[in-house]
Each structure stands twice: as structure tokens, then as C-alpha cells.
Structure 1
């Protein structure tokens, strides 16, 4: 399979930029609070909530909503083992694809030799 075809086959749940940002941040910690993730990613509350719901539906994260001192809502998010594996695999695949493209010369602005014939 050509590396360009591999790019089109990436897991779209993980590859979407906001979700990749969320998963990458969560892979670096045990858990994170909603407001911390919002600040870290720069997403609006609604946008972050939407992406978190998709990731939770996909089994890549777990969300816990509870109250602190009985009245302050707090939402914490943690990456699941499946989510950690998915984001690690995604970054490895991107690096591999990038290396294949670079070796073909496309990264340097030169088309592969087969295109010159």
C-alpha cells in the first residue's frame, strides 16, 4: 500500500486534530479535569464536550462526573487502555508513513522517480 493510501486509512476517531490533541494530553497523565483539558486544547466547552462524548462512545476515554463538597461539579477524564494503545499506534503509524514519504523524496519537493518516466 502506498503511504498516501495509508494516510487515508488512519483511524478517523483518533486522527481528528482536536481528538488527537485530547488523547495525546491524556496519554501523558493519569487523569485530567475538564477545565484543564479545555485550557490545554483551546477548545470551547461545547466543542470539548462533543469530542469527549465521541471518544467515550468509542471506548477510548472514561469520564467521571461528581461533586466536590456536595455542590461544585467536577468532571475528570482518563484515557482507557484501548485509548492509550490507539493514540500510541496512531503516532507510530504517522511517523512510519512520514518516513516512507520522505524516503520517496516527496518531502524534499522532488517527485518519486516513477513519476518522472
Structure 2
């Protein structure tokens, strides 16, 4: 079990929601994350860059089989470090709330 550890980078509301979404998937399309959170491309890009700079999120681009143009799909995923940091942050929040730790 991961030790509880508050993470200021993850704690910002949009970044916490991004990590929560990515924690439940191997990877998600940038557009899916944007639409699910109801935020702009620019807002998501800013927060993803912050998470990527901290080593929490990885960004990969690939050609799309569904497109006939040259545009690429941007895939987002939590890195192993990001998964661990997210789990530790959730445990820290549970401690603050006086709740038992849930398994992520």
C-alpha cells in the first residue's frame, strides 16, 4: 500500500480530475478528457503540461486509423510515478477527511 502523501501538483481541481480519469484507463484521447471535463483545449494543455513536467502524465501522439488527414491523436496516460502519486494523494485526502483508506 502506498503511503499517504499530499501532492500540491495533483491537488489543483482540474489536475485532480485529470488524474482521476486517467487512473481508470491505460490511456485516453486528449479530446475525450477535454470533453469529459468540459474544458477548453488550452486549459487542458496547460494542466497536462504541468502534470507531465512533474513526471505524472505521459503524452504520446500517433496517427489515427479513423482520419484521412495527417492529424495525429494525442494520448494521455498516468505514468507509474503518477499512479503512485495519485494513490498517495487520495490517501492523504482520506486522512484529512478522517476516512478509512480505500484501495485504488
| Interval of TM-score (by shorter of Structure 1 and Structure 2) | 0.7 to 0.9
Number of residue pairs matched by the alignment: 92
Q: Normalising by structure 1, report the TM-score.
A: 0.73
Give the Cα–Cα distance (whole angstroms) in 2 for the partners of residues 80 and 68 of structure 1. Answer: 22
Q: Which structure 2 residues correspond to residues 33-112 of structure 1 after superposition, within 5 A?
A: 33-68=29-64, 71-99=70-98
Q: Normalising by structure 2, report the TM-score.
A: 0.81
Deviations 1:23-50 (A, max 9, x none): 0100000000000000111111000000
Q: Look at both structures and tell me which one has the larger radius of gyration over its CA atoms.
A: 1
Give the Cα–Cα distance (whole angstroms) in 1 for the partners of residues 23 and 6 of structure 2. Answer: 19
CA-based RMSD of the aligned residues comes to 1.7
Structure 1 spans left out of the alignment, 5+ residues: 1-8, 101-117
- Tell me: higher relative CO, structure 1 or 2? Use CA pairs within 8 A at least 6 residues apart: 2
